[in-house]
Amino acid sequence: QQQVKQSPQSLIVQKGGISIINCAYENTAFDYFPWYQQFPGKGPALLIAIRPDVSEKKEGRFTISFNKSAKQFSLHIMDSQPGDSATYFCAASRGNNDMRFGAGTRLTVKP
């Protein structure tokens, strides 16, 4: 039962470009929406997260946009760099419980 749908599956962006990854969720009880970054051979690491009381959160080059009515949220990476090449996962959870991950987006930033 896929409660968080993520797209695209893979993404290729030129250095300096904008990377955009989208997610949609089903369960309106979710109240925490993190994005994780995973490099090969490593565990996922929290990148940025948002709660549904705000529509946007920005940290450096990373921005989450959140649309509660549409049950969608997205990650924007500005000025994408080769070091950003990794797999990105969106997720959603209820408080501290029941975290559901999207299937992941493999991002490649070409120099």
Partner 1 sequence: EAGVAQSPRYKIIEKRQSVAFWCNPISGHATLYWYQQILGQGPKLLIQFQNNGVVDDSQLPKDRFSAERLKGVDSTLKIQPAKLEDSAVYLCASSLTGAKNIQYFGAGTRLSVL
Nearest to 33 by CA among 15, 6, 51: 51
Interacting span for partner 1 (CB under 8 A) from 12-20, 57-65, 70-78, 94-102: 94-102
Which of residues 28, 42, 70, 111 is near partner 1 by CB under 8 A? 42
Q: Does 40 bind partner 1 (CB under 8 A)?
A: no
CB within 8 A of 44, min separation 6: which ones? 36, 37, 38, 89
Q: Is 100 in the site for partner 1 (CB under 8 A)?
A: yes
Stretch of 12-20, 41-49, 58-66, 68-76 lying at the interface with partner 1 (CB under 8 A):
41-49
Q: Which range, of 11-19, 37-45, 52-60, 64-72, touches partner 1 by CB under 8 A?
A: 37-45
Residues 48-67, mask of contacts with partner 1 (x by CB under 8 A): -x------------------
User: Would you tell me how many other CB atoms lie within 10 Å of the CB of residue 73?
Assistant: 25
